[in-house]
């Protein structure tokens, strides 16, 4: 009998396997401590193959940032249904954000911690992602804030400031939630939704925005 031929893994699948291993390694060990040997071993391939597919450690890290950024922005957009009321759209966007970052803590570490601190090129990739999210959230905030304040003429500058503040808070809260046992994505989203929607004054007075049933 002749030797049994095994089906060759498609290049795209192999690359994703390498990126999975790289995101896990970069996210848990940090960019400086991560080695191509570690990534190759975790991916189950040779180090030369990693270099053949992804050229260098910098290129590999950039590919990880781009993949994780694309996945996060897609998750947030997919979570928002335009037919819902403004407050529900904002809630669903926040819930989608925290659900994704909770499910992909290594990817979030790559985006929020590692990429920002290891060079302008990497930071620029994250800035592009953040700009896209802020632009999307600005429209959600515009609709929600104008509805909440019953003010259709709420200034664009004020809306932009609210969106920027909300995204910044979401980023910090996601990192805290991932590092704090027992904090769910839904709890994190509700915390920020209450702060954004009801305002601190209403919270202190016991008037909190209630999330819809799960």
Does residue 8 form part of some domain?
no
Answer yes or no: is 172 within a domain: yes
Inside any domain, residue 50: no
Residue 101 and residue 167 in contact, taking contact as beta carbons nearer than 8 Å: no
Spatial separation of the C-alpha atoms in residues 91 and 136, rounded to whole Å: 14
Give the pLDDT confidence score for residue 204 in this predicted structure.
43
In a domain, 74, yes or no: yes
Structural domain span for residue 85? 65-204
User: What's the number of domains the chain is made of?
Assistant: 1
Mean pLDDT of the chain: 86
pLDDT reported for residue 214: 75
Q: Per the domain annotation, does 24 fall within a domain? A: no
**Within a domain: 97:** yes
87 is a domain residue: yes
What's the rounded Cα separation, in Å, for the pair 157 and 92? 24
Segment 91-120, tens digit of pLDDT: 999 999 999 999 999 999 999 999 988 888
Q: Which residues contact 73 (CB under 8 A, 6 or more apart)?
A: 129, 132, 133, 136
User: Can you tell me the distance from the alpha carbon of 126 to that of 89, in angstroms, rounded to the nearest whole number?
Assistant: 24
Q: What percent of the chain has pLDDT over 90?
A: 60
Is 150's pLDDT higher than 70?
no
pLDDT digits (tens, 9 = 90+) for 58-103: 999 999 999 999 999 999 999 999 899 888 899 999 999 999 999 9
Residue 188: CATH number of its domain:
1.10.357.10
**Residue 182 located in a structural domain:** yes
């Amino acid at each position: 009998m002749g030797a049994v031929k095994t089906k060759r893994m498609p290049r795209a699948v192999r690359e994703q396997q390498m990126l999975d291993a790289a995101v896990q390694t970069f996210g848990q060990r940090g960019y400086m401590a991560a080695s191509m040997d570690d990534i190759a071993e975790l991916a189950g391939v040779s180090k030369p193959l990693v270099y053949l597919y992804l050229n260098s450690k910098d290129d590999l890290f950039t590919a990880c940032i781009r993949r994780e950024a694309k996945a996060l922005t897609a998750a947030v957009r997919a979570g928002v249904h335009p037919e819902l009321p403004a407050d529900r759209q904002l809630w669903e966007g926040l819930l989608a954000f925290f659900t994704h970052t909770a499910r992909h803590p290594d990817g979030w570490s790559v985006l929020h911690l590692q990429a920002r601190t290891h060079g302008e090129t990497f930071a620029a990739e994250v800035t592009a992602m953040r700009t896209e999210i802020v632009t999307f959230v600005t429209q959600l905030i515009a609709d929600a804030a104008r509805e909440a304040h019953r003010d259709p003429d709420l200034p664009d500058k004020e809306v932009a400031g609210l969106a920027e503040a909300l995204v910044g808070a979401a980023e910090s809260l996601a990192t805290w939630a991932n590092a704090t046992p027992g904090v769910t994505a839904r709890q994190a989203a509700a915390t920020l939704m209450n702060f954004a929607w009801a305002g601190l004054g209403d919270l202190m007075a016991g008037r909190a925005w209630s999330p819809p049933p799960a």
